[in-house]
């Protein structure tokens, strides 16, 4: 897509401690990321960021093929987990830098719980906070996390998801459907 790729730092680690929560987002403890994603997954905090440009297009990322869960699938601009001791806001700002090399003011939109199994490899079981922000680029994508990025108009994205839902991560489809109901 012609976007510079100059940030090759590994930013995700199986041993990083994620925050275990109940359905009301009360902290229950901590567990290494690898353990949170085993089997059917253990409920933990997560976040998703949707970055739009000034033209109203959404920045999509295709997850690196190296990702153990949903590698090569298209998803929202950035998604990750707060680590032990991090707020959602601090974690979201960190991941925008880590994955896209940018900063943006983010607005909290909603929180929801979902569970999704990936083949027999593992699962997501997350209480996910969704944020939106605006940035036109340039972006400096981290290829350890992202293989490709693309801006797409919301209407075109709706058509693509309807035509080929299997290309997209399960959380992204859920979040996008809800975001479309509350956006413009």
Query: Which are the catalytic amino acids?
Result: 79, 126
With 0-12 / 13-18 / 19 or more C-beta atoms within 10 angstroms meaning exposed / middle / buried, residue 86 is middle
Number of residues that this document lists for the chain: 184
What is the signed CA dihedral for 87, 14, 16, 112, rounded to 10 degrees?
Answer: 20
With 0-12 / 13-18 / 19 or more C-beta atoms within 10 angstroms meaning exposed / middle / buried, residue 69 is middle
Buried b (16+ CB within 10 A) or exposed e, 118-137: beeebbbbbbbbbbbbebee
What is the distance between the alpha carbons of residues 49 and 181, in angstroms, rounded to a whole number? 17
What is the distance between the alpha carbons of residues 149 and 115, in angstroms, rounded to a whole number? 25
Give me the numbers of helices (H) and strands (E) for the chain, helices first please. Answer: 4, 9
């Amino acid at each position: 897509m012609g976007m510079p790729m100059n940030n090759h730092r590994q930013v995700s680690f199986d041993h990083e401690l994620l925050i275990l929560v109940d359905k009301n987002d009360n902290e229950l403890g901590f567990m290494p990321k690898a353990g949170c994603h085993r089997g059917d997954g253990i409920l933990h905090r997560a976040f998703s960021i949707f970055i739009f440009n000034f033209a109203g297009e959404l920045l999509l990322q295709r997850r690196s093929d190296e990702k153990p869960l949903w590698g090569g699938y298209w998803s929202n601009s950035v998604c990750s987990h707060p680590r032990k001791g991090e707020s959602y806001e601090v974690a979201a700002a960190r991941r925008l830098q880590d994955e896209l090399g940018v900063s943006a003011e983010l607005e909290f939109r909603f929180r929801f719980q979902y569970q999704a199994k990936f083949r027999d490899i593992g699962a997501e079981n997350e209480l996910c906070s969704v944020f939106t922000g605006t940035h036109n680029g340039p972006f400096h994508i981290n290829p350890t996390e992202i293989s490709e990025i693309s801006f797409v108009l919301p209407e075109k994205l709706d058509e693509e998801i309807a035509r080929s839902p299997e290309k997209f991560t399960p959380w992204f489809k859920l979040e996008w459907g809800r975001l479309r109901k509350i956006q413009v």
